Amino acid sequence: MPSVHDYSTMEASCDAYLKQLSSGFSHLRKSGELCDTVLVTADRQLLAHSVVLAAASPVFRAAFQSCVADGCMSYRLQLDGLDGQLMEAILNCIYCGQEAPLMSLCSKLDAESVAEICEQLGVSWLINNKCSRYLVLLQ
């Protein structure tokens, strides 16, 4: 039977793995490497990876699956009316758990609106993790 020390070592190893993976995904997005998706907001065009978005959101997964059925190899999703700065903050949470930009926007925007947008994008889990502490404090 593994000891408590063994479990803490495994946990540290998993944390290091997740941190490296998250850092790698974030670097790829910020550098534009291997991006196959453009998210078009009201004021920005943001590059992303369909596989990361599909893993994070059933809404994105469904959008990509319908495009794949049509033979698409890259994606352009129009997110009408969505603020680019907010979508960038959501992407930062999805890719690497950066909560500061989202928390900052929650202080400027209506926290309930941010929660609704996350729900519509299929990333309501952001509201239930460390990215949402500020949402709870504002309500």
Q: What is the pTM of this model?
A: 0.78
- What was the pLDDT predicted at 48? 97
Q: For 53-79, what is each residue's pLDDT tens digit?
A: 999 999 999 999 988 777 878 899 999
Pairing mode of beta strands 45-48, 37-40: antiparallel
For the chain, helix (H) and strand (E) counts, in that order, are 7, 3
Domain-by-domain residue ranges, the chain? 4-138
Average pLDDT, the chain: 81
- What was the pLDDT predicted at 3? 54
What's the fold here for domain 4-138? Potassium Channel Kv1.1; Chain A (3.30.710)
